Structure formats: C-alpha cells, structure tokens
A and B are shown apart, each in its own frame.
Chain A
C-alpha cells in the first residue's frame, strides 16, 4: 500500500507476450508442414489466409472496442443482415448497379454501428445488453428479408471482393480480402499505437472517469469506435457473400465467439485499457492456422472447436498469472 511494488513496465511485457505468440505460430506452422503434405501449398495458404481475412478484419476492430472497455457481439448479425440485403438488392428487377449496392451494404453497417453507439452513449445502456439486442434484431432482419432462404448472387465485383474468380471458383493469386486485411491491420496498428485517437481509446478503457476529468470527449470516441465496428462487420459480410456467392441469414453464426477468442488470445484484457493490434493479429493467425492445419491432418470440426476452447482458457490463465507476481 505504501511501497513501490517493483516496477511493471507496460511496453516490455506486452511485447514479449506477442513475440511468444508469433513464435508459437511459427512452430505450429512448421509442425503442420511436416504433418500434412497439403498444408504448405500456395493454394492452401492463400485460401487459408482469405478465410482468416474474413473474420480477422472484424477481430481487428473488435480489439478497439475491447481496449475501450466495451464489447460488440452484434457483428455476426450485422454480417448476416448485410449479406442478405446485398443479395436481395442484387436480385431485384431494375437492380441498382453493383457499386451502389455495395455502398448501401456499407451504409447499413454504419447505421448498425451508429445505433449501437447511440444506445450505449446517450442512453447509457450496457454494451453487452445493447449489442446482444442488435445481434438479434439484425439477424432477425436477415431472415425476414430473405424469407429464411438463401439468395444466390453471382457477380464478378462481389466475387472479387470475396477473393474468388467467378466461373472458375478459384482463389485469385492475390485475393482482395487478403489485401484488405493487410491494409486494415496496418491502419489499425498505427491508429492504436501512435495516434491521438487511439490513445484516447486506451485511456477510456483504463479509467473512464479519469478520461472524463481529463477533458476527453468519451461519448464521441465511443460512438466512433462502435461505428467503425459496424462498418467492419458489414464489410466482412460483403466479403463472405462474395466468397460463398450467397446471401443467407445463417452467415456469421457463432463467429462472435471465434473473434472474441482471437482478441483475448492476443492479450487484450476483458477489462479494458490493455491490448494491441499485433497481438490480435497473432491470435487470428494462430486460430486460422490451427483450424486449417488440423483439418488437413484429418481432425473434424468439432474436435478443433474443443481444442480452441482449451487453448483460450490456457492462454488467458497464463496472462492472469503473469499479471500477479507472487513472492
């Protein structure tokens, strides 16, 4: 209580955790290369990374939300609704040009994000409850719009966004989602590590009252972050629609958990104020490689799921232990 408890240096601790994660990633990848002939092929790596890009982008923006001390579990519903809307609009008589449809899709994401932001800041409702509600509303709207059916959408532009070459169903040499993934992560990394806005996010997550007293416009920052989360989710929805060539209300079911897992794996604290984009990147890649590698070896989806849960508990426990040094 009255003594300096021995120094805890923020930068060093989080950096070394991230380094360990990346080492683990490399070791895992090497292991899979030996365990499966098909793992280390351009086709597999590219398609694996394209899949990762889909949920990875949302994991990046969710990192912002969680560092801020909030949560957005409406991302899955957002993906579903956006996907259904885009496919629906595409198949209308006298449909708008595809560019317009894509913009409307992104505007939907913006609206969903704004809705979340408004409820959370102006009405002061708990983020978990708010986004839980939005999740149900948006997914429900997806079902309503499509009358619970899947809507086919075959279009080169959408396909390009999804990273597939239409007609051949092939993965492009440099899939668009992957490019987007890199651009988004680079931007978010700079935002969080070096920008004034990013710093404000950390401050709000670490101590919202102190941030308020320091003159930070907490409501404005929160609103923008939820907005960003909403746009990212709808973007992912469009990518998924392109990848699968369908708009359906089941899209993104359960991906909230995968995304949150990746973010926590990367070292972001559930309580806010701690975390970084690089860590989430490691988390996203680890989960992606895990999934892909195990599938290549012959594990089934359900087994991998169990393993994923075990890893999450293990890794987060290690983080907790590290925080509390005992003598």
Chain B
C-alpha cells in the first residue's frame, strides 16, 4: 500500500471497543500519512463514528494502541487529542453564530492589548493570514450567522489550521453543500494536503471518495474489511466491501408500466420565485427535479403540498382541480411529503417509533376519542418490516436510530397515510449505502403499485439512474425536461445554470 513518500503521522493498531451488547470495533487498524486524504467508508453500524470518537478523545478504547508521529498516546479527554494536533469537523458545525469570523477562528485566544481589551486590528489581520493560507476570500469581520453552510465549514477548518492541526477529520462534509461549494471544499483540502496536513474523510458518497481520496478504508460490522489505493479500485468493489454482498446495481431501477396522469401542475407562479411552472406526474413514474440551490425547487414542492401559498396556477389530481392550501388537505388527496431535513421537520426525536409512524394518521387509529393501541402497533409493525428497519422494538425513541433508519421512519409515515403521490426532498441525503438501496427499492415497489414520485435530488448519479423523467429548474423556470436515457450530467448542469 505504498503510495506516499511522507511520514506516517497517525497509526491506530488493533483498536477494539465494546458497548453493552455490541462490539463496535474489533481489532481495527487505520493509519494516515502526512499530506494524504484517507477515506473512511462503511455502512450503518460499521464503526466509523466510534473510531472517530476514540480518536477525538470522546470515548476510551478497550484494546489497541494509538500512535501520533510514531509516539504512543492516550486520549482520556478531547483536550488530549486536540493537543496532539487532531481536530474533528462534525457534520453539525460548531460555530458561534452571533460572533464574527475572526472571533470564531481565535475563540479563547483573542489577542489583547496591554490594558486587557481585545485588539481588534490584530485579530482581523491574523484571521486574514489564516484565511489567505487556505486561499479563501472570506471577510474576517462578517457575522458567522449570516454565512452559508460552506462558509461556516471554512471557518471550522481555519480554526483547525490556526491551532496547527495536522490531522483533520471531516465527517460527511458535503452533506449540505451544493456543487460549487463542494468544488471549493475540495480545493481547500488539496491545499491542506500540499501543506502536509493529513485528512480523514468520512463520506457515503462514492463519487467523492474517487475525487478526493488517495486511499480508502472500508469498515463493516466493526471490522476492517480492507484498505485500498483509490486509483486501483472501483465503485462496485467498494460497495461489495461495504455491504458484504454482491450489489449488482447501486440503483435498482425496474421496468414499471406508466399509467394515467396522477397530478397535473399548470402555470404555477410564485411572484419573484417561480414563473409559469407546468408539468405532470403519472402513475408508476418517478420524476426527478434537478436544480441549483435557490432555483425554486423547494418552493415548488412546498407550494404543491400546501405549506406555502402560490399566486397563480392550477393543480389537478386525477383530472379534478384541487385547492391544496394546507398539509391536511394534501394528505386528504393522498399526497405524502418527505422533508429535506428529517431532524428539523420530519421526526419527533424524543417520541417512540410508533408515534412517529402514525403521526399523520392519528384520527384514523380507531373511531372515537381514544387511540386503538393494538391497531397502532399492528400498523407500525407492518411498516417497520416493509421499510426494512432492523430495530425490533417499536417503543425505541427515534433519537437513537441511525440516519438511514430515521429516514425510513419518515417514509413509513407516508405509507401509513396511504399516499399515492410522494414528494421526496433529497430522500437519501446523509444516509448509508444499504439504506439508500432499500429506499430506492421501496420507491420502485410503490411505483409498481401505481404511485407516483416527485423527487428532488442534487446527487446526479441518483437522479439520472432512478428518474423516469427529469425536470430541470433554473431561476424559477423550467429549463429542461428529459426522458430516461436522454439526459446526462453535462446536459443537466447546463440546463440548471442557464
């Protein structure tokens, strides 16, 4: 596995960690060279998070050795890990939104004048130096709360650079980023590489692993399956390593007969946001909606589901014009909505699985004022099985499920209400490969039963493989419509940037 001339800055040897009832890590070894991007891939429960938490000093290991720059270390608290130059950037960023960029980078270490007050000039100058080193253009005086997700990410990286981190862990950094920002992030990472920083890159997105990593290690069920040079491997091999079974296709598209028009959208307009949007959805069909951030796709589907108002236009369901002005009406017309952020808008994290599944159908759990508990459990058990969630107990709080299982719970809720028109906003964002495939297969089954799916996706391989038709929206207008097989990445991106 020799593709680096640099020295080994991190070595984790035979790390094991057990939690009550589960062996989270079983003699896992992982190393990192300076100036390298080493990817970490794995399914649900594979052990990635545990490994990182051990490295960050949040957990303590049961067995094994960690060496930083060839010297053995013990991390009892996070400060120990940070003192050794290790810095983790989590998916949920930890910025102080009411303070400025410079204050965030130097938090806890603000330069002071002799009297003890903050030396703003020096602070901003130093911030500029760090940002320049990253080849980034951000104004150090801007308030962080006003920045985009990517800009906040840059600040977290800047903070790590300032603290002279030479081992940077990035956990799903692109989950909330658009295409342009991902390019920017990769440039920053390549720049860090040149400066000798080693990056541990955790992602579910295989295209990114191939774009940015030098090596990749795959974990499965707490064990290391293998480490390969990125150049020497391919998608199918990685998937097989992750899932442990022959996954012939990442995107299990089936031949589904397309039927009548389920929903017809005519001349939908929201002043200033959407202009004259017309399209239809047929039974058995998956329509992909593609576009950049701010193109109006989100506004469109929120208008369809009755969350936001629209100014002109007409919607017909099964040929009849309808007024869907509340989610309740949308549900009556058998529409189901999967929001983009399951934690924010989709799930009641402190409530049990069954509560979440039946949330949109409470009034139908038996007649009268009381809930028919056995009916509720019966329904919930059926959907849990249908969406292939492995947690056996329905009383489990949704909080403790993985991202993939949580997304499946949202889907189960739509199934419970008998939806026929599914509106899914980035249905596989931030979830593992195995769960993604499960969700695709469920989507196909639903289509086979005559449902129709409108799917917003910014993952090009996903939208190209799963959609029967793709509609591209740019700056509030429909700029392209492609049948299956007609579109490719270039055409879509071109139409999205018109």
Interface residues in chain A, defined as those with a beta carbon under 8 Å from any beta carbon in chain B? 1-12, 190, 194-197, 199-200, 202-203, 206-207, 209-217, 269, 273-274, 327
Contact = CB atoms under 8 A, between A and B. Distances in A.
Nearest to A198: B371
Contact of A3 (B331, B339, B402): B402
Contacts of A3: 24, 44-50, 402
10 closest residue pairs by CB, A with B: A206-B348, A214-B360, A215-B328, A8-B397, A209-B345, A207-B348, A214-B359, A215-B331, A273-B350, A10-B352
Nearest to A204: B348
Contacts of A196: 362-363, 365, 369-371
Nearest to B435: A2
Contact of B373 (A1, A5, A190, A194): A194
Nearest to A197: B369
B371 A194 contact: yes
B253 interface: no
Contact of B348 (A2, A190, A210, A215): A210
B172 A203 contact: no
B208 to A, nearest CB: 16
Interface in B370-404: 370-371, 373, 391, 393, 395-397, 399-404
Nearest to A206: B348
Nearest to A5: B400
B397 to A, nearest CB: 4
Nearest to B17: A327
Contacts of B42: 2
Given A4-B405, A215-B328, A216-B359, A207 B347 contact: yes
B20 interface: yes
B156 to A, nearest CB: 16
Contact of A213 (B21, B339, B395, B401): B339
A206 B365 contact: no
Given A1-B403, A3-B24, A11 B349 contact: no
A7 B400 contact: yes
Interface extent on B, as a size class? Answer: 35 or more
16 contacts: A7-B393, A7-B397, A9-B352, A9-B395, A11-B352, A195-B369, A197-B369, A202-B348, A202-B355, A203-B348, A203-B359, A206-B350, A209-B345, A213-B346, A214-B359, A217-B328
Q: Which of A214, A269, A273 has the largest number of chain B CB atoms within 10 A?
A: A214
A214 B413 contact: yes
A199 B405 contact: no
A327 to B, nearest CB: 6
Nearest to B432: A2
A216 B44 CA distance: 32
Contacts of A2: 42, 44-46, 48-49, 402-404, 432
Contacts of A6: 19-22, 400
Given A197-B369, A202-B355, A213 B45 contact: no
Interface string B36-55: 00000010111111100000
Q: Which of B337, B351, B373, B396 has the largest number of chain A CB atoms within 10 A?
A: B351
Contacts of B47: 3
B369 A215 contact: no
Contacts, number: 142
Contacts of A215: 326-328, 330-331, 360
B351 A273 contact: yes
B115 interface: no
Nearest to A10: B352
Interface in B410-463: 413, 432
A245 to B, nearest CB: 39
A194 B365 CA distance: 11
A129 B15 CA distance: 53
Contacts of A195: 369-371
Q: Which of B347, B362, B373, B399 has the largest number of chain A CB atoms within 10 A?
A: B362
Nearest to B92: A1
Contacts of B345: 207, 209-210, 213
A1 B171 contact: yes
Q: Which of A11, A197, A200, A213 has the largest number of chain B CB atoms within 10 A?
A: A213
A7 B401 CA distance: 8
Contacts of B351: 10, 202-203, 206, 273
Interface string B20-39: 11101000000000000000
A12 B370 contact: no
A207 B400 contact: no
Interface string B316-328: 0000000000111
A210 B343 CA distance: 9
A5 B351 CA distance: 15
Contacts of B413: 214
B286 to A, nearest CB: 21
A327 B20 CA distance: 10
A327 B393 CA distance: 23
Nearest to A190: B370
Q: Which of A195, A202, A209, A273 has the largest number of chain B CB atoms within 10 A?
A: A209
Nearest to A1: B49
B498 interface: no
Contact of A210 (B326, B347, B369): B347
Contacts of B45: 2-4
Given A206-B351, A215-B360, A4 B369 contact: no
A49 to B, nearest CB: 29
A214 B327 contact: yes
B363 A12 contact: no
Nearest to B365: A196
Nearest to B60: A327
B1 interface: no
A210 B172 contact: no
A217 B332 CA distance: 14
Given A1-B91, A210-B345, A9 B172 contact: no
B400 to A, nearest CB: 5
B189 to A, nearest CB: 20
A216 B417 CA distance: 13
Given A3-B44, A12-B395, A206-B349, A327 B49 contact: no
A277 B346 CA distance: 27
A2 B60 CA distance: 19
Contact of B344 (A4, A199, A203, A209): A209
A77 to B, nearest CB: 31
Interface in B272-324: 305, 307
Interface string B139-183: 000000000000000000000000000000001100000000000
B59 interface: yes
Contacts of B393: 7, 9
A215 B333 CA distance: 12
A203 B363 CA distance: 13
